Amino acid sequence: MAKTIQAVRGMNDILPAETSAWQYLEDTLREVVHAYGYREIRLPLLEKTELFSRSIGEVTDIVEKEMYTFDDRNGDSLTLRPEGTASCVRACMQHGLLHNQVQRLWYGGPMFRHERPQKGRYRQFHQVGVEAFGMPGPDIDAEMIFMTARMWARLGLRGARLQVNSLGTPAARAAYREALVDYLRTHAERLDEDSTRRLESNPLRILDSKNPDMQALVASAPQLPDYLDEESREHFSGFCSLLDVAGVAYEVNPRLVRGLDYYSKTVFEWVTDQLGAQGTVCAGGRFDGLVEYLGGRPTPAFGFALGLERLLALLLSADAQLPASDPHVYMVLSGHEAMQRGLVLADELRNAVAGLRLQVNCGGGSFKSQFKRADRSGAAFALVLGEEEIARQTAVLKPLRSDADQEVVAQSGLAARIGGLLADDSAGQGC
Ligand code: ATP
Ligand code: MG
């Protein structure tokens, strides 16, 4: 027999047993971003390669070694999106969404990076991204943090720590860059291969290195906060005091830089110790230069992205109470007439009872095998129609998850009875 084909490494199927948790996570996040006035934008999975190489920067992990890039049949170089900000900015410019107006936008979906797959790190993974354009002050920076804090609260997640830093204005960053390069040059023999290459092209990224030897070197490097100019300092202290007033705890991490090149001023990450090495669940910051850099008018911008796989892992380890998706009722049918009537009755019940999840046994089978399926479906009740019930226009409603007695109900009264049971259930029982 031929070997069955497997999924691409690092690209996961999300199986039916897992989708309820995903939907719950996505619904909750959507509810929170909508509560702050953000609107969804849906973007293509494929973009011209140039969009990412320009916006993310040539000398980043993503552009150097993580992009899925190929020539299409016309010979155009295309790339599966590794992140969403670049596409979002492109779409906003292309459709004039940034002219004389502010925008609060969010998007979600799969991103693609050719990384080494491991727990919390995949080649296809999912993000929800949130971006705000046109707001220069620290108020929007802080509000985004409040929004993320609300997400954790709504999801029942505890233990995420907020780290913040300021990358300064481009001028402040340039001054810091010079000091950092001077320092690193004097320790050139200790730099690893990646860092040596980045020394000239993108030295700030060395601060972000995952190599422990580099982290030791970086620990005594000049620190970014010492190089902030007046404007950056004011923005950052304004931001921090808004967090203080709202009672949001944070730590300033002077070595926090973001992997992407286009950030300036505020940057932040939410980090947890519960996920091992892949502990960042949310990261973002201000990117005032990006729109202009991609050919638009200067436009202040702030945004972040959440890693859904990592959030989901936290959610599952927190034993969150997920909404059920099992059917409430499984309809068991015996005989041709019952099958005919059952299919119609099932739709009548779906029409009459809002939110009812009713699964009809299709494909025949003995009573015994149908009850087995009913049990496996997770349904709280079996609704049984046989010859006798057809003749009497009744049905038997049998609880599957409790010892309560079964009851015979007139078909005309079923909607009310089942509706009543569902209403009781929203107060907390087995449905
Ligand atoms: P890391 O330092 O973990 O590689 P990053 O800086 O590359 O993260 P961003 O580009 O800021 O990550 O993406 C935002 C979030 O998306 C991350 O904080 C993380 O939660 C998630 N994420 C990034 N890459 C992956 C991946 N390969 N698999 C799963 N989640 C990811
Ligand atoms: Mg990365």
Ligand 1 atom closest to the CA of 310, numbered from 1: 20
pLDDT in tens, 271-325: 999 988 889 999 999 999 999 999 999 999 999 999 999 999 999 998 778 888 8
Q: Given this model, what pLDDT does residue 92 score?
A: 98
Q: Given this model, what pLDDT does residue 194 score?
A: 85
Ligand 1 atom closest to the CA of 306, numbered from 1: 15
Contact between 10 and 122 (Cβ < 8 Å): yes
Q: Helix (H) and strand (E) counts for the chain?
A: 15, 16
Evaluate: CB of 10 within 6 angstroms of ligand 1.
no
Q: Does the pLDDT of residue 427 top 70, yes or no?
A: no
Distance, in Å, from the CA atom of 398 to the CA atom of 379, rounded to the nearest integer, reads 11
- Percentage of the chain lying above the pLDDT 90 cut: 77
Q: CA torsion angle for 91, 96, 101, 102 (degrees, to 10)? A: 0
Q: Given this model, what pLDDT does residue 260 score?
A: 64
Looking at the CA of 160, name the nearest ligand.
Answer: 1
Average confidence score pLDDT of the chain: 93
Q: For residue 334, which of 360, 315, 356 has the smallest C-alpha distance?
A: 360
Cα of 417 to ligand 2 centre, how many Å? 54
Evaluate: CB of 309 within 6 angstroms of ligand 1.
yes
Nearest-CA residue for ligand 1 atom 28 is 121
CB atoms within 10 A of CB 62: 21
- Mutation choice for ligand 1 from 127, 152, 286, 304, CB with most ligand atoms inside 8 A: 127
Q: For residue 264, which of 173, 162, 150 has the smallest C-alpha distance?
A: 173
Pairing of strands 280-286, 301-307: antiparallel
Looking at the CA of 307, name the nearest ligand.
Answer: 1
Q: Where are the alpha helices (DSSP H) in 353-395?
A: 367-377, 387-392
Ligand 1 atom closest to the CA of 210, numbered from 1: 2
Name the region of 361 (left: φ>0; alpha: ψ -120 to 50; beta: rest): beta
Evaluate: CB of 66 within 6 angstroms of ligand 1.
no
Ligand 1 atom closest to the CA of 282, numbered from 1: 18
- Mutation choice for ligand 1 from 125, 211, 304, CB with most ligand atoms inside 8 A: 125
Ligand 1 atom closest to the CA of 120, numbered from 1: 29
- Percentage of the chain lying above the pLDDT 70 cut: 97
Nearest-CA residue for ligand 1 atom 13 is 305
Cα of 173 to ligand 2 centre, how many Å? 22
Pairing of strands 301-307, 124-133: antiparallel
Nearest-CA residue for ligand 1 atom 9 is 283
Evaluate: CB of 281 within 6 angstroms of ligand 1.
yes
Name the band, by pLDDT with cuts 50, 70 and 90, for residue 429.
very low
Greatest CA separation for the chain: 94
Evaluate: CB of 114 within 6 angstroms of ligand 1.
no
Looking at the CA of 120, name the nearest ligand.
Answer: 1
Q: What Rg do the C-alpha atoms of the chain give, in angstroms?
A: 28
Q: For residue 384, which of 362, 361, 403 has the smallest C-alpha distance?
A: 361
Residue 321, token pair as written in the block:
């109470």
Residue 279, token pair as written in the block:
């502990």
Give the pLDDT mean for 99-105.
94
To 5 degrees, how large is the angle CA 312–CA 14–CA 123?
Answer: 80
Straight-line distance from the first to the last Cα atom of the chain, in angstroms, rounded to the nearest whole number: 44
Give the pLDDT mean for 323-338.
94
Give the pLDDT mean for 11-37.
96
Distance, in Å, from the CA atom of 86 to the CA atom of 48, rounded to the nearest integer, reads 11
Cα of 83 to ligand 1 centre, how many Å? 9
Name the band, by pLDDT with cuts 50, 70 and 90, for residue 392.
very high
pLDDT in tens, 208-232: 787 888 888 888 899 988 999 999 9
Q: Does the pLDDT of residue 363 top 80, yes or no?
A: yes
Distance, in Å, from the CA atom of 119 to the CA atom of 195, rounded to the nearest integer, reads 26
Cα of 62 to ligand 2 centre, how many Å? 7
Q: Given this model, what pLDDT does residue 277 score?
A: 85
Ligand 1 atom closest to the CA of 259, numbered from 1: 6
Q: For residue 92, which of 287, 263, 265 has the smallest C-alpha distance?
A: 287
Q: What are the b/e assignments for 114-132, b being 16+ CB within 10 Å?
A: bbebeebbbbbbbbbbbbb
